[in-house]
A and B are shown apart, each in its own frame.
Chain A
């Protein structure tokens, strides 16, 4: 999370996850996760559906508190109020999570308006600029229910870009998108990193996106990290589960 009154620091942050455990109704979803994300790195977390990826992401931004273990942002716990005030962070939700009662423009400019960071005219300019970046120029006055799933996701990305975050988390950014839009989103993730040196964590099971943008990839299964490495290392990894996940293809029955 970020604060309007936060520091002006624009440096990327590091993320350390230590022994993260979380259960829901007696069922352990995260079973002791440990990994580090370096400042400015694009770190992709891959894994099958139900492996705990989205729950992990919610912990990484402080929406959920773990049963055990901790998440450190530049060495400080994500749950401490100081961290919230010190760093700008954003999460792009899988569903977009746009406020349905607000227009697209109001959604994208919400952070700036609520924290009174810019005058309304300037907010409108920034909103138009960010919507153009995600290919949705001129949609400011539309309501979220007038948009397709993919468009909602791109509005959510524009909303995150407005924050100019030091840490940005994407939950399945290319799901529901056509291949061309998925490429645009992947390129935008890379451009954002080049522009503001943001630390990026992407949760996805889109293999093209993961291998296209990642500096490192973590494969997660059943609440545990199976492997962490560069895309090349993951490709070469001699692990049956990883290989099965990476090379799963539909085959027409004879």
Chain B
């Protein structure tokens, strides 16, 4: 994985250099945005709702027993906003969207479609990588905003309905508002933006270096997902450390 980091940085740099022509590819960006949003929004909301519920269920009774009822909303809120939503959703996107990107570009590489683009003087980075990178960089933070909201909702529902926690919606969100500020949410969204770029560049790179037939495409998809997840987790630590007040 790490032997390709240099190539990935170079691909990212070339994609940045291609940004001035992004407007010409707006339709492809919109298509990709629709693809990512359409494929992921419902799944993101359902997953996040239950993750929020589980956090409330795991921490609620322990905190309530110790008289820390007022901390439940804040704990659920901050853990979802700063950590769980950006990391879990980026991993989900790596599995759902990163794999599709690697498979599609890998298949185009194996079946000479990328060579065909090059013979027509169409830059594959402009045509394939740029729209996907812009779309994923926009879509992942938006999905994470939905994820945070769904996670909070899930946590509040469990807190209100579980007899061992039993905290009203109003009390849950009042406490959440005390502890979770805009800064915390922004931190999570910023992290997800970085993770989205990681998923995009790793997946596009794996697609572009695919060799062999269907087996090669399968290998690229696996590598794209695994490498994305490993890099997300490492980058999560680095970003968390940097963003720590």
Contact = CB atoms under 8 A, between A and B. Distances in A.
Contacts of A116: 24
B116 A84 contact: no
Contacts of B115: 58, 63, 91, 93, 97
Contacts of B121: 1-4, 84, 111, 115
Interface string B99-126: 0000010011001110111111110000
A197 to B, nearest CB: 21
Interface in B113-158: 113, 115-122, 127
A175 interface: no
Interface residues of B, number: 16
A182 B73 CA distance: 74
A97 B120 contact: no
Looking at chain B's contact residues, is the secondary structure mostly helix, strand, loop, or mixed? helix
Nearest to B108: A99
Nearest to A114: B122
A14 interface: no
Nearest to B120: A111
A90 B115 CA distance: 11
Interface of B: 24, 104, 107-108, 111-113, 115-122, 127
Given A97-B111, A97-B115, A114-B120, 4 more contacts: A2-B121, A91-B116, A111-B120, A115-B121
Interface of A: 1-4, 58, 61, 63, 84, 89-91, 93, 95, 97-101, 110-111, 114-116, 159, 163
30 contacts: A1-B118, A1-B119, A2-B120, A58-B115, A61-B119, A63-B115, A63-B118, A63-B119, A84-B121, A89-B119, A90-B119, A91-B116, A93-B115, A93-B116, A95-B111, A97-B111, A97-B112, A97-B113, A97-B115, A97-B116, A98-B113, A98-B116, A99-B108, A100-B108, A101-B104, A110-B120, A111-B121, A115-B122, A159-B120, A163-B120
